[in-house]
Structure 1
Amino acid sequence: MEPTSCGTSPIVGFRFSLHPMSGNFIKIIKSALKDTDTSHVWMQTDDVSTVIRGKQQHVFNVAKALTLHAAKTKEHIALSGTFSAGCPGDTAGDVYLETPAKPANQDRTEQYVSSQFALYPMNNPDYMDVIYREVERAKEFGVWNDSMQYASGIHGDIHEVFSFYETCFSSARSDQYPHLVMTVSMSINSPSHKTGAENFS
């Protein structure tokens, strides 16, 4: 199959690594996978990370559900990953573009998340304007935490945080500049979150 040109594929992807800070990490990861409905996404795991691909709403839904199920163990969980859309040649998982629109995972358990993200609007000469706009959006969503070198801090309930990330991801793309990369790092149930988590609750 010939690769598609940049931006012509509607597929969104997320490559991530989940790190439970526990000697029981294998069980935590496997249980999170078992408890998450991944039927609406293409998924592949290797010895370093996992990638999921498909419709945007399903990719974000599965990413959130996996993280939430791991966090419900109350162990300290770290997640690091990269969302991407409009990548040249990204066709694996095309069949999953025919899945129903409604996300498969509906667990609404509250969970405090501290996270950081960085946005990379590829080829867009006005990329800083895009980034500044999405920082303001985070403040409007009530999930803004702090400015820092090479990232922006986002925190709050996991559902609100993922809602912001998905909205930001949609807004930062355009027909003219469809190739977008967004990196996300999350820390959950860490003892260092005590103040933020208390304020959240």
Structure 2
Amino acid sequence: MNEQCGNLRIAGCSFSVHPMSDQFIEHILESLEHVDTSKVWMETDDVTTTVRGRIEHVFDVTKAILLTIADRGVHVAFQGTYSIGCPGDSSGDAFMTESRERMNELNSISIDQKIAAKFSLYPMGGGDYMDTIYSQIERMEANGVDVSRAHYSTRLDGDTHSIFTGLEDVFRETEKSGSSHTVMTVTVSANSPSNKEDAS
């Protein structure tokens, strides 16, 4: 495939959601229909869904899809890989001109949902990022997120909105610190019967 590099500041997330329900297909399709994706480029295949555009809209859409399913009370797992600065990432440049207004925030903010999450950050191409990561983790803790160490990742327990705000801040600030290509993997569990007491 011969792609030309377009706007390297396009952010994206390739993700999968797994509702633990016999109606998993309906839950996934209904969430994709319910969430406003008008400000992102989106493509779904038999493995993942990919959304691309401005950072705020990528996080807005992925959080909204997770919350839409979790709000039905079903146990749902979410796995996503967020990326910005990928060489050759050119499709969807037009979405970079969208306004900053988040299309799903008004609906999402009304959903009170505790989650457990793990994330790993991979800054590539330089940058002074360790202090940035630590400072953003401290901000998450100040906002009521329980932060703990896990193998190959950092664990977060708490409110979905606080956690996703923290993840977006870590992602943004790492890029600003000089990382030319930043990748972040995120795994989330909501409504799991085996979660910690403080993460339903």
**Distance in 2 separating the partners of 1:149 and 1:2:** 36
Partner amino acid for 1:145?
V
Give the count of matched residue pairs: 196
Partner of 1:113: 115
- The alignment partner of 2:57 has SS state of helix
Gaps spanning 5+ residues in structure 1: where?
Answer: none
**Distance in 1 separating the partners of 2:27 and 2:83:** 26
Q: CA deviation at 1:97?
A: 1.1
Q: Is the 8 A contact 2:145 2:162 kept in 1?
A: yes
**Distance in 1 separating the partners of 2:129 and 2:98:** 32
Cα 1:175–1:118 change in 2 (3 A) is closer
Partner of 1:63: 62
TM-score by length of 1: 0.90
Q: Is the 8 A contact 1:119 1:182 kept in 2?
A: yes
Partner of 2:144: 142
1:190 counterpart = 2:172: no
- The alignment partner of 2:86 has SS state of coil
Partner of 2:158: 156
Cα deviation 1:20-67 (Å, max 9, x = unaligned): 011110000011111100001000011110100001111100011000
Q: CA deviation at 1:194?
A: 5.5
**Distance in 2 separating the partners of 1:139 and 1:114:** 14
Identical aligned pairs, as a percentage? Answer: 42
Q: Is the 8 A contact 1:12 1:84 kept in 2?
A: yes
Q: CA deviation at 1:72?
A: 1.0
Q: Is the 8 A contact 1:120 1:127 kept in 2?
A: no
Partner of 1:86: 85
Q: Is the 8 A contact 1:43 1:53 kept in 2?
A: yes
Partner amino acid for 1:113?
I
Partner of 2:98: 99
Q: CA deviation at 1:3?
A: 2.4
Q: Is the 8 A contact 1:134 1:172 kept in 2?
A: no
**Distance in 2 separating the partners of 1:34 and 1:27:** 10
Q: 2:181 aligns with which of 176, 179, 182?
A: 179
TM-score by length of 2: 0.90
Q: Aligned-pair RMSD on alpha carbons?
A: 1.9
Cα deviation 1:91-111 (Å, max 9, x = unaligned): 111111122220101221111
Partner amino acid for 2:54?
K
Q: CA deviation at 1:2?
A: 5.4
Cα 1:175–1:164 change in 2 (3 A) is closer
Name the stretch that deviates more: 76-85 or 88-97. Answer: 88-97
Q: CA deviation at 1:179?
A: 1.0
Partner amino acid for 2:115?
V
